[in-house]
């Protein structure tokens, strides 16, 4: 078996509004559209991923929250109805998710070996969270690839930023080792938004874009600073500044997804491609792709 590799890493935010706006048959509510910049960014991402012969999506989601350790979905199939608890008017999604069980178990084993507390979700009635579903749907709306979903253990909240960063670096490195030893060509998805202050009132028509804008200028400036680090290959600096970013913008990076992704990719020093930046109910969201194979080819000339 050839050694596996991460063929792309993606910051793939999950506001349920994006699925709502797309009107897929799985989602009950109907919309008139909205949030086009982000949705068209996901279209550009899909075109970019099309040639990479990926065979699995591995997603780390802020909305599957586990208290004791990092959990993976660990049954071949999960089916059900997932409802966003804050936006049940936008997201009532009927899902049928195929899981890459050997890879899920390899990630859990590598995590065990690294000294992390790992859990395996084997309850067939477990309800898959809207973060996992939205990111996967926007990246692969045909649902023709299996998925590995990983929970957030919330170490940044329960302990400190320092402990959270260390946990997520260890989990990212464990994920990479698991991908390599199972021979997979994996696309990794960090499902979080960037800045995360949001409006507390929804417009009467949620997709009325005359109401959508950044929450405030400071939040926007922080998002641009983080995106500039990504576009310039300064991901170690991005990680170093993350505690301040989290504190000043209540960033969803506090769930650890982006740190996990950066560690899995070995803290890239090559430029990322920003496919889109846009706000959803005032929060900052970017669709960003790292292409390790493209960077390697460019380097080898």
Distances (CA, A) of 269 to 150, 236, 258, 262, 283: 25, 8, 15, 10, 27
Indicate which single residue of 135, 153, 175, 193 sits in contact with ligand 2X7 (rule: CB under 6 A).
193
DSSP character at residue 27? B
Contact between 49 and ligand 2X7 per CB under 6 A: no
CB of 283 to ligand 2X7, least distance (A): 4
- The site string for ligand 2X7 over 5-24 (x = CB under 6 A, - otherwise) reads ---------xxx--------
Closest by CA position to 63, among listed 166, 133, 111, 114: 133
Number of residues that bind ligand 2X7 (CB under 6 A): 9
CB of 180 to ligand 2X7, least distance (A): 31
How much of the chain is in helix, strand and coil states, percent to nearest 5? Answer: 45, 25, 35
Indicate which single residue of 252, 255, 289, 291 sits in contact with ligand 2X7 (rule: CB under 6 A).
252
Q: Pick the closer one to ligand 2X7 by CB: 256 or 268.
A: 256
Q: Pick the closer one to ligand 2X7 by CB: 38 or 118.
A: 38
Burial of residue 123, with CB atoms counted within 10 A of its CB: 0-12 exposed, 13-18 middle, 19 or more buried: exposed
Q: Whole-angstrom Cα distance, residue 275 to residue 257? A: 19
CB of 4 to ligand 2X7, least distance (A): 30
For residue 170, give the 3-state DSSP assignment: helix
DSSP H helices, the chain, are: 16-22, 36-49, 101-113, 130-139, 155-158, 161-182, 217-232, 235-249, 257-264, 292-300
CB of 7 to ligand 2X7, least distance (A): 26
- The site string for ligand 2X7 over 275-294 (x = CB under 6 A, - otherwise) reads -----xx-x-----------
Residue whose Cβ sits closest to ligand 2X7 = 15
CB of 50 to ligand 2X7, least distance (A): 27
Q: Whole-angstrom Cα distance, residue 243 to residue 255? A: 12
User: How far apart, in Å, do the first and last CA atoms of the chain sit?
Assistant: 27
CB of 49 to ligand 2X7, least distance (A): 22
Q: Which residues bind ligand 2X7 (CB under 6 A)?
A: 14-16, 193, 198, 252, 280-281, 283
């Amino acid at each position: 078996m050839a050694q596996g590799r991460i063929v792309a890493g993606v910051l793939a935010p999950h506001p349920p509004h994006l699925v709502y706006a797309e009107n897929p048959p799985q989602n009950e509510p109907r919309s008139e559209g909205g949030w086009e910049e982000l949705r068209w960014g996901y279209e550009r991402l899909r075109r970019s991923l099309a040639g990479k012969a990926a065979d699995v999506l591995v997603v780390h989601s802020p909305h599957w929250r586990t208290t004791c350790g990092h959990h993976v979905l660990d049954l071949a199939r999960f089916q059900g109805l997932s409802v966003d608890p804050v936006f049940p008017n936008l997201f009532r999604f009927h899902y049928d998710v195929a899981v890459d069980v050997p890879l899920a178990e390899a990630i859990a084993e590598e995590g065990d070996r690294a000294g992390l507390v790992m859990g395996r979700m084997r309850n067939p009635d477990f309800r898959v969270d809207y973060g996992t579903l939205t990111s996967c749907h926007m990246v692969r709306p045909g649902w023709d690839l299996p998925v590995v979903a990983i929970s957030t253990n919330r170490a940044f909240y329960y302990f400190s930023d320092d402990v959270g960063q260390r946990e997520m670096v260890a989990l990212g490195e464990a994920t990479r080792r698991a991908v390599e030893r199972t021979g997979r060509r994996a696309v990794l998805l960090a499902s979080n938004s960037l800045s995360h202050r949001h409006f507390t009132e929804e417009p009467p028509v949620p997709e009325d874009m005359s109401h959508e804008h950044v929450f405030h200028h400071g939040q926007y400036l922080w998002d641009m600073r983080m995106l500039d680090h990504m576009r310039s290959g300064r991901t170690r600096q991005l990680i170093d500044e993350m505690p301040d970013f989290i504190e000043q913008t209540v960033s969803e990076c506090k769930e650890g997804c982006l740190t996990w992704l950066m560690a899995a990719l070995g803290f890239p020093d090559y430029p990322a491609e920003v496919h889109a930046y846009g706000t959803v109910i005032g929060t900052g969201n970017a669709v960003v792709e790292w292409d390790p194979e493209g960077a390697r080819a460019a380097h080898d000339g």
